[in-house]
Structures are given as C-alpha cells and as structure tokens.
Amino acid sequence: MKIRLDQERCTGHGRCYTLAPEVFDEDERGHCVVTLADVPDTLREKARRGVEGCPEYALEAIENAESEA
C-alpha cells in the first residue's frame, strides 16, 4: 500500500502523525510528511486510521500501488 498526500489540502492538523507516527511525520510547519514509500502489511491498519483521520481529505491510501508505477 502507498499513501498519496495532497499537500495543497494539508493544513497541519496533525491527526495523521498522531494516529500513525510510524507512517507519517511533520515538517517544520506541522504539515504532513509521508515517511514510508511503501506501507508494510503490519502497518496497514494504522496507516488507514491516519488517512481516515485527516479532516481535510488530504490523504489517500492506494492498494496495489505497484501496478501503477
């Protein structure tokens, strides 16, 4: 699974990296940075929680991302 971040939408609420710090981090403005290019299966549920917790819909979880390249 991969995570797509729309930086235009991100306003820095910090929900994502609070919910799933293994997958998301913050930059110097408190905006989201996705730290894992590929989310391993062990972190999938947590990553989804972070994606779904974003109030700005700035995050999208993409399954089978390897077929997109």
What is the rounded CA–CA span in Å between residue 35 and residue 4? 11
* Piece of the chain touching ligand SF4 by CB under 6 A; list 9-17, 35-43, 60-68: 9-17
Q: What is the per-residue binding string for ligand SF4 in 22-61, x denoting contact by CB under 6 A?
A: ---------xx---------------------x-x-xx--
Which residues, listed in sequence order, are joined to residue 58 by a DSSP beta bridge? Answer: none
List interacting residues with ligand SF4 (CB under 6 A). Answer: 10-16, 31-32, 54, 56, 58-59
